[in-house]
Structure 1
Amino acid sequence: MKEFWRRFQEHQLINLGAQCAYFLLLSLFPFLLVVIAFLSYLPFRPSDVFLLLQNAYVPPGALEVVESQWNVLTADTQPALLSVGALLTLWTASLALNSIISSLNLAYNTTETRPFLKERGIALLLTIAMFFVIIAALVLQVVGVHIRDWLQLELMLFNMDLVRWSLTSLMLFVVFMLLYWTGPSRTLRFRDVYIGAIAATIGWQVASYFFSTFVSRFADFSATYGTIGAVIALMIWFHLISLILLIGGEINAMLKEKNLEKEAV
């Protein structure tokens, strides 16, 4: 624990989390644009998307920002966006993952040796992976509700919610595994990254739940920040989950360093 705290301070994770949160906010709306364009081909309603966000414990204030921007984008979005324009939009959305990758390199005390296009390509692929996690989670959510209604068993409500939550957590774990495995500019194995991925998945779900509960019951950001209160809530949530992702990377880097020391003895 003492070693982790030393790394936490030395690598300035609070500041790096704020940097990642900024790029997450910058990437959010281009990412939403692609999601909206893709969903135009699928039988999903906006309410399905917002229910998914609620199940992921997105804070109410943050949800308001996403919903309002969603309404603006859906007024003008055309299916044709799934073309070169979508790729350019995803490239912009990958800025957040690129920022996290840079932070992971710092955790391993390594410099970026990969070509620029390869590094950005990895960030782009991870962004696409996150995109398909959202789509898969939507499918699970809608299918789960239909199965429950078809069985006409109210007792299934809790079980189906638990199944959907578990599967969403599993998909988050897979994405975090890919992030921690391919993100740093060094060769890593599954056993080098799975502990941090587990910690990040648990941290994401627990922290998001408690922050969402806090915002909905106690905090009123609009009273302090006025009309931008919802944006502030979104930024704080982004900072929180970014910090959790970076902590997962630090855990992996710390354990990798310990293993190398043991092998050297």
Structure 2
Amino acid sequence: MRHIISGYKFVSEILTAMDKRNLSLISAGVAFYAMLAIFPALAALIALWGVFADPLVIDEQLNLLKQFAPADAFRLVDTQVNALINANDSTLGYTTLVSLGAALWSTRAGVAALIRGLNAVYSAPHRTGIRRTFAALLLTLCLIGMSLVALTGIVIFPIALALLPLGEFTQDIFTTLRWVLVTLAVILGLGLIYRFGPNHKTDYLKTNWISPGALVALFIWGAVSWAFSLYLANFGKYNEVYGSIGAVVALLMWFYISAWVVLLGATLNCELARRRHDRQAEPQAT
């Protein structure tokens, strides 16, 4: 019973900390910039992948989101991805540095908004001038690079498995490994964001690549996204209320939920680190 009460108090402290730092409002800002950044990010990812391999792979792997994203929002993204993939080779397969740079620059705005949210979590000062732009752009490139590595693994594994005498189990193994790779990529992506996003200078607040906040955020994001999709499918009336922009509103709400969960994970890491530091400092104080 004591552990339950202690756990309840800790969760309450996390939510209170998020409320004091206005993370719900910041999540709305992150969602807005994510909405503006999602399609340039997909354009950059497809362009880079299309130089070396078939960009249709991206559309195939995008189907993994179908179980979590709202149906209307998924169709909106999927339609745009197909439009980008079906573009001619001169504008997609061998995208000029200028157009690719523009896509990366637009994507950077979404990452920069998330970094501001992380700074709020840690009560850290914002980077100024060129440092802020450089940090957001570098983190954007790292996240896109990690996505490309994950896609490469997903493509290579079926080829490698086909060479092994696994028989009817090959497809089951591939499906499992695909989910493992995607899960690992998300956890490491969150680790990258949590570790290098905030502008704090305190060593004990540094986050490991695999952190409790990342694991909790991944679990809650999956559960809440699924519940939100279920709600929209059965009770939501976005299309009736918002008409033709219902899918856009659903996607924006999903981004808001996702941003809030990411900041929740960061808050959890921050509070755990501070508690651990306080416990270590107590014997020295006495």
Specify the TM-score bucket, using the shorter chain as the normaliser. 0.7 to 0.9
Structure 1 position 218, deviation (Å): 5.7
- Which residue does 2:153 correspond to in 1? 140
1:66 Cα deviation after fit: 1.5
Give 1:243 deviation, angstroms. Answer: 0.8
Q: 5+ unaligned residues in a row in structure 1: which ranges? A: none
Between structure 1 and structure 2, the one with the greater Rg is 2
| Length, aligned pairs only | 263
2:84 matched to 1:75? Answer: no
Query: Which runs of 5 or more residues in structure 2 are unaligned?
Result: 1-10
Distance in 2, Cα, partners of 1:239 & 1:3: 22
1:50-103 per-residue CA deviation (whole Å, 9 max, x = no partner) reads: 332221333321222123323444436344434143223212211111111111
Residue 24 of structure 1 and its aligned partner are, at CA, apart by 0.3
Structure-1 separation of matches of 2:40 and 2:80: 11
1:220 positional shift: 5.6
Aligned equivalent of 2:189: 175
Distance 1:147 1:213 in 2: 36
Partner of 1:141: helix, strand, or coil? helix
Whole-angstrom CA distance in 1 between matches of 2:147 and 2:77:
14
Does residue 43 in structure 1 map to residue 57 in structure 2? Answer: no
CA distance in structure 1 between the aligned counterparts of 2:243 and 2:280, rounded to whole angstroms? 56
Change (3 A) 1:123 1:250: same
Which among 114, 136, 140 is matched to residue 100 of structure 1? 114
| Inter-partner Cα distance in structure 2 for 1:220 and 1:158 | 37
Any conservation in 1 of the 2:194–2:207 contact (CA below 8 Å)? no
Work out whether residues 133 and 172 of structure 1, in 8 Å CA contact, stay in contact via their aligned partners in 2: no
Query: 1:127 matched to which residue of 2?
Result: 140
- What TM-score results when the alignment is normalised by the length of structure 1? 0.86
Aligned to 1:24: 34
Q: Map residues 156-167 of structure 1 onto 2, 5 A cutoff.
A: 156-167=170-181
Maintained 8 Å contact 2:59/2:82: no
- What residue number does 1:66 align with? 77
**What SS class does the counterpart of residue 261 from structure 2 fall into?**
helix
> Does the C-alpha gap of structure 1 residues 208 and 159 become closer, same or farther in structure 2, counting only changes over 3 Å?
farther
Q: Over residues 116-148 of structure 1, what are the superposed CA-to-partner deviations in whole Å (9 max), with x where a residue is unaligned?
A: 222222211221222123323333333344456
Aligned twin of 1:116:
129
Deviations 1:154-181 (A, max 9, x none): 4343332221111111111111111111
CA contact (8 A) 2:192 2:209 kept: no
Counting only pairs closer than 5 Å after superposition, residues 188-199 of structure 1 correspond to structure 2 as: 188-191=205-208, 194-199=211-216
User: Identity of paired residues, percent?
Assistant: 26
CA positional deviation for 1:231? 1.2
Counterpart residue type for residue 33 of structure 2: F
Which has the larger displacement, 12-21 or 254-263?
254-263
SS of the residue aligned with 1:40?
helix
Secondary structure class of the residue paired with 2:225? helix
What CA deviation, in whole Å up to 9, does each residue of 1:176-230 have, x standing for no partner? 1111111111134345972212222323333334434544566463333222122
Counterpart amino acid of 1:126?
A: L
2:269 to 237, 252, 257: 252
Q: Which residue of 1 aligns with 2:6?
A: none
Shift of 1:45: 4.2
TM-score by length of 2: 0.80
Amino acid of the structure 2 residue aligned with 1:41: V
Give the whole-Å Cα distance in 2 for the aligned partners of 1:242 and 1:211. 14
Q: CA RMSD for the aligned pairs? A: 2.6
Q: What whole-Å deviation, never above 9, does each CA across 1:15-34 have from its counterpart, x for those lacking one?
A: 21111110000111211221
